[in-house]
Each structure stands twice: as C-alpha cells, then as structure tokens.
C-alpha cells in the first residue's frame, strides 16, 4: 500500500484579516501545497469580518488563554509565524509558543519605520479612541496576566516581560528565524532582537506573484498603455499617527491632486488594504478625475504611472525598483521618511512648491531621466513565490 504523506500544520498570527489579501494570501497559494495553513486573528475585537478563505481561520480575539492553548496543542504546528512583535497579544503569542516548545518565525510584511515599530500613537488618537482601546486591550491584558500567573509564574518570566514592555529588549523572547525584505529592515529590528546572521533571510520586496512573472517582466517589460499620477495611500488616520481626520486628510491632499488634474492627469488613489474603500469613494466623489482603487498586486499600476505620489510605503520602494519617478510629500503628524526613498525621489514640501518645481521643465526631465536609468539600487524586487520558497526552506 502506498504511503500518503501527511502535511504538517503551520499558523500565522495577524491582528486583523484585512492583511490577508495583500500579503498572506499570495504566499499561501504556494505554502498550501506542503502545509495545512491556519490563521489566528482578532477580527472580533475590531468589529470586522473577512471573506471565506481556502484555509482555516480562527478568531482568538475574545478567546480565553486556556482555549487558545488547547487550540494550539490540537493543531500542533511545526512553526508559528508572526508579522508583528510589538502588541500585547504579539508578545503573548510568542511567549506561549516558547512555553509549548513551538518555533516562532518573524516575517516582514510591509515597510518598517523606526518610529512605528512599537505602534507609537499621538495623544489625540488615545483621547478619541480611549474606550475602544481599553475594550480591545482588556482581553489581551487579561490573557497575559493569566499566562504569567498560571502557566509561567516565576521571577524569570516577570523579568522577560519587563524587558519587553518597558525596555524593548527581546533577547529572551526572540524568534528562531526571520525573513526581511531588505538589509536595512533587518538592521533596524536587529537592535532589539540580536539575531545571528544565519537566522535571517533577505527576500527582497515582493511585487510579483510567481517567479516566472518576475523573469518575464525583467526580460520584456510591458509597454506603458496610459499616463496618470498614482497616489499611494498610507493609513496614518487609521493607525492614529496623525492628528488629521479622514475629512481633514482629504482637504490636505486635495491641492496636490488639483494641480495634477489641472495639468491634464488622471489621479489614481491606491488605497491601503486596511481601509474601507466605500468610505474613501464617498469622501472623494466630489473631485473629478480621481479614481479610488484597492489593488493587492500593484505592479502594473506602478509601471504605467507617470509619477508616483506618496509619503512612506513599501509600494514606494517597489516604484523605485521599477524606476518610476517618485514625488514625496509631507504628511502632518509624526512619521519618518525612508532614507533610500528620500535619496531617489523628489521631495516637495507644499502644493506651491509643486507648481514652482513643475515650471522648471528641464529639472523635471533630468529627474525622470536619472530615475529611469538608475542601475545602482540596493533593493531587489521579488515574488511571493520566492518568499514562500524561503519559508519552506527554513521550516
């Protein structure tokens, strides 16, 4: 009788399932061939839902620690993947997996910024969302306290928790392996984790689904079919890292959009996957020649754009890799520019400066030429299949 190989189980933990479409789904297309994939999430604490997926989704948001523990034991994963490490529940999941002798791996899923690694919020965000944050985190805090007081009640556990929460030291709660898009991201996170170099893989920034798509694109880039400005949205209002509201954000961005529309461009607004598209469609319905889109694979949107407009996003890194001219504009509130993007983009401080800069036709022409012929970029683009291959390799 022929032996049938049983697939091993793996678990991904994501705070919300909204991240699945843009990152986890494209990887799982390839992982499902070798593993049974489970998704732990906390949608119930965000009042959100997601579409059906071809793998097992388990909402642990309001689940007791005892039930989470029994669920993990029943699944018996070979690896537990985290895409964050800063929240209470991230830390709890990592500690629990250590207790259960299950390997934990970190997987970068987007742009990493120093000032956002630990979810820094502004005061107005806490004031405006105090009761929601209290409600949501009460479940996480309860489970963490139960973990410390029942499963791991000793001085060492208190020491580890104190270091993580108050000193941002993860040396005793580190991941066994990690995959980063770039060396810069690795070095940023490594200040807190102190990985050995053999624990880390650098994947490149995923822009294509399959390896053969990447090869085909490099060998024969598609002909540009249309001209437009692509604005890459960052969820600063959603994440609470700005004092702006959705309405004041629109009023802030509108003069930039108006300039390009007056110049004859269509503006395509690439909405971040965590946002609700119907909200933005309604907000911007009065502005003509602007199209709100939410496209997980933005490679051809980027390729066809005359300019990419944005603040700080992994999509801007992809635009850089595709040699599409980037115009960076500031955003009110605390956020950090990405050095590599800043080095290869045009930074415009205001709508007035934008108008003045575009009057200098030769300057714009030289900028476009420099970007299009830049062969010395320290970032490589890759495919989700390649990241899946790396995950399979390290598992």
Looking up residue 284, the CATH number of its domain turns out to be 3.40.50.2000
- Give the pLDDT of residue 137: 80
In a domain, 354, yes or no: yes
Q: Is the pLDDT of residue 290 over 80?
A: yes
Instruction: Give yes or no: residues 35 and 122 share one domain.
Output: yes
Average pLDDT for residues 24-43, to the nearest whole number?
Answer: 91
Q: Quick one: pLDDT band at residue 289, thresholds 50, 70, 90? A: confident
Instruction: Give yes or no: residues 127 and 245 share one domain.
Output: no
Instruction: Give yes or no: residues 148 and 31 share one domain.
Output: yes
Instruction: Give yes or no: residues 185 and 49 share one domain.
Output: yes
- Give the pLDDT of residue 1: 34
Give the DSSP letter string of 283-336: HTTTSTTEEEE--S--HHHHHH-SEEEESS-HHHHHHHHTT--EEE---SSS--
| pLDDT tens-digit series, residues 379-388 | 777 889 999 9
In a domain, 127, yes or no: yes
- Give the pLDDT of residue 19: 78
Q: Is the pLDDT of residue 232 over 80?
A: yes
Instruction: Give yes or no: residues 24 and 170 share one domain.
Output: yes
Closest-CA residue to 203 (of 84, 319, 110): 110
Range of lowest pLDDT (81-85, 185-189, 195-199, 239-243) = 239-243
- Give the pLDDT of residue 152: 64
- The number of folded domains in the chain is 2
- Give the pLDDT of residue 75: 96
In a domain, 211, yes or no: no
- Give the pLDDT of residue 18: 77
DSSP 8-state symbol, 18: G
In a domain, 154, yes or no: yes
Looking up residue 144, the CATH number of its domain turns out to be 3.40.50
Domain span at 35? 8-204+383-394
Instruction: Give yes or no: residues 56 and 83 share one domain.
Output: yes
- What is the signed CA dihedral for 271, 274, 277, 283, rounded to 10 degrees? -80
First CA to last CA distance, the chain? 29
Instruction: Give yes or no: residues 199 and 289 share one domain.
Output: no
| pLDDT tens-digit series, residues 146-169 | 888 876 667 788 888 888 888 888
């Amino acid at each position: 009788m022929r032996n049938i190989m049983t697939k091993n189980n793996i678990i991904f933990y994501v705070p919300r399932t909204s991240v699945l479409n843009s990152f986890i789904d494209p990887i799982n297309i390839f992982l499902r061939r070798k593993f049974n994939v489970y998704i732990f999430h906390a949608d119930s604490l965000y009042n959100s839902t997601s579409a059906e997926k071809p793998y097992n989704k388990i909402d642990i948001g309001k689940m007791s620690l005892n039930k989470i523990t029994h669920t993990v034991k029943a699944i018996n994963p070979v690896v537990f993947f985290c895409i964050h490490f800063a929240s209470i529940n991230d830390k709890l999941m990592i500690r629990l997996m250590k207790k259960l002798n299950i390997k934990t791996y970190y997987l970068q899923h987007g742009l990493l910024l120093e000032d956002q690694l630990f979810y820094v919020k502004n005061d107005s965000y806490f004031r405006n969302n105090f009761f929601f944050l209290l409600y949501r985190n009460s479940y996480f805090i309860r489970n963490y306290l139960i973990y410390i007081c029942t499963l791991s009640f000793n001085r060492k556990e208190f020491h580890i928790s104190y270091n993580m929460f108050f000193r941002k030291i993860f040396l005793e709660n580190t991941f066994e392996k990690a995959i980063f898009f770039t060396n810069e991201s690795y070095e940023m996170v490594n200040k807190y984790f102190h990985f050995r170099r053999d624990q880390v893989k650098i994947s490149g920034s995923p822009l294509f689904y399959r390896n053969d798509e990447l090869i085909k694109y490099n060998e024969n880039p598609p002909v540009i079919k249309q001209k437009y400005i692509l604005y890459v949205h960052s969820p600063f209002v959603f994440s609470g890292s700005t004092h702006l509201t959705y309405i004041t954000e629109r009023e802030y961005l509108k003069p930039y959009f108006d300039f390009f529309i007056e110049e004859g461009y269509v503006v395509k607004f690439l909405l971040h996957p965590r946002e609700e598209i119907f909200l933005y469609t309604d907000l911007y319905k009065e502005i003509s020649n602007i199209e709100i889109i939410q496209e997980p694979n933005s490679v051809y949107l980027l390729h066809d754009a005359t300019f990419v407009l944005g603040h700080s996003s992994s999509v801007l890194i992809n635009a850089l890799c595709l040699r599409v001219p980037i115009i960076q504009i500031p955003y009110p509130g605390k956020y950090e520019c990405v050095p590599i993007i800043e080095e290869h983009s045009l930074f415009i401080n205001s709508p007035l400066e934008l108008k003045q800069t575009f009057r200098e036709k030769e300057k714009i022409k030289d900028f476009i030429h420099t970007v299009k012929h830049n062969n010395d970029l320290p970032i490589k683009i890759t495919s989700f299949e390649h990241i899946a291959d790396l995950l399979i390799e390290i598992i």
